[in-house]
Structure 1
Amino acid sequence: MTDEEPAGCDINHPLITLTGLLIEAESALLARINSTLRSAGIATDAFEVLLRLSRSPGGRLRMSALSRQLTITTGGATRMMERLERDGLVRRVPGTADRRVVFAEVTETGRLELQRVIEVHVRDLIDVFTVRLEPDEVAALERGLRALRDSLTPADPAEDDPPE
């Protein structure tokens, strides 16, 4: 390794700065969300599972799609589901067409738990985003982050088929 940098690049490259800002903002936002949800009496990972399932068609996702969306291993998703099943918030349902496929499904208890904490979460997000950013900045941020996410984590069409 040499002390020379590639032509045209330096440590002050704007994309290095942008990446650093994104990572710092993500870290601060996650800490704030964790604190807010903890004070509301729910773990962040449980909230995220309930939210993703509740927003999915039929309140269910394939376990493989859920683990991909949560960016955790399938083993990690299984352990999380076991914990949430014990609490009655979700259930695992085998596929009817292919018994190897397992769906994660939110229960009525899980929907009620999500509803219990969603107002606190949204109030906090309003403070984070709409108090600090103009509406056009929020819209531009969403467009940019969605495009970045979609290009870096392409969906697996087999996992996103409608539930059976």
Structure 2
Amino acid sequence: MTLYGLFVEAFTRLKPLVHHDLGMPETWFEVLLRLGRTPGHRLRMTDLADAVSFSSGGFTRLADRMAKEGLIRRDPDPNDRRAALAVLTDQGAEALDRATTTHASHLRTHVSRPLTAEDRRHPERALRTLRDAPNPAGPLAEGSR
């Protein structure tokens, strides 16, 4: 309980500091970052919604706003006629580059600088383990997001 509580408290404190001055809503940044880090800069809409913890309806509205701004586009999924892919546009990549520069600076100031190299290694390993662990309960229920 203490470990989880400290994680939540640290994240709550750090999130506004490291997302300051992104030049876009942090949800948009998260979407662009996921697409930018994915080979081919494209993900199925449903997979991207899951990755950023949005319901499919909520993510559709978010994607509509981002597409209207020219940051992403929707392409048909060549492997599934019923699905669509969210694709990072050149304009989205440029916006991501600008935001990432600011974000990296804030991460260095508020996350890396206060920690030693040893301090950083242990949480990284633990968080990767937690992220990659199988979920025995299955995917989150649609209404719990």
Q: Which bracket does the TM-score occupy, shorter chain normalised?
A: 0.7 to 0.9
Q: What does the per-residue CA deviation read over 1:10-39, in whole Å, with 9 as the maximum and x for residues that have no partner?
A: xxxxxx1111111111111222233x1xx3
Q: 2: distance between equivalents of 1:33 and 1:44?
A: 10
Q: 2: distance between equivalents of 1:116 and 1:147?
A: 30
**Contact 1:61 1:105 survives alignment (8 Å):** yes
1:95 aligned to 2:95?
no
Q: 1: distance between equivalents of 2:24 and 2:130?
A: 29
Amino acid of the residue matched to residue 7 of structure 2?
L
1:132 aligned to 2:117?
no
* Structure 1 portions without partners, runs of 5+: 1-15, 157-164
1:24 aligned to 2:24?
no
Equivalences for residues 1-164 of structure 1 within 5 A: 16-34=1-19, 36=20, 39-151=21-133
TM-score relative to the length of structure 2:
0.87
Q: CA deviation at 1:122?
A: 0.2
**Contact 2:17 2:110 survives alignment (8 Å):** no
Q: Please state which structure has a larger fraction of its residues in strand.
A: 2
Q: What does the per-residue CA deviation read over 1:114-163, in whole Å, with 9 as the maximum and x for residues that have no partner?
A: 11121111011011222111112112111111111222658x9xxxxxxx
Q: CA RMSD in A?
A: 1.7
Larger Rg: 1
Q: Look up the match of 1:159.
A: none
Q: What SS class does the counterpart of residue 101 from structure 1 fall into?
A: strand
TM-score relative to the length of structure 1:
0.78
Structure 1 segments of 4+ aligned residues over 6 angstroms from their partners: none
Q: CA deviation at 1:75?
A: 1.0
Q: What SS class does the counterpart of residue 71 from structure 1 fall into?
A: coil
Q: Look up the match of 1:12.
A: none
Q: What does the per-residue CA deviation read over 1:45-91, in whole Å, with 9 as the maximum and x for residues that have no partner?
A: 11111110011011001111111111111111111100000000000
Q: What does the per-residue CA deviation read over 1:93-132, in whole Å, with 9 as the maximum and x for residues that have no partner?
A: 1112321121111000000011112111101101122211
Q: Of the two structures, which has the highest relative contact order with CA contacts closer than 8 Å and spacing of 6 or more?
A: 2
- CA 1:153–1:78: 2 relative to 1, 3 Å: farther
Q: What SS class does the counterpart of residue 103 from structure 1 fall into?
A: strand
- CA 1:153–1:108: 2 relative to 1, 3 Å: farther
**Contact 1:33 1:44 survives alignment (8 Å):** no
Q: 2: distance between equivalents of 1:40 and 1:151?
A: 31
- CA 1:55–1:79: 2 relative to 1, 3 Å: same
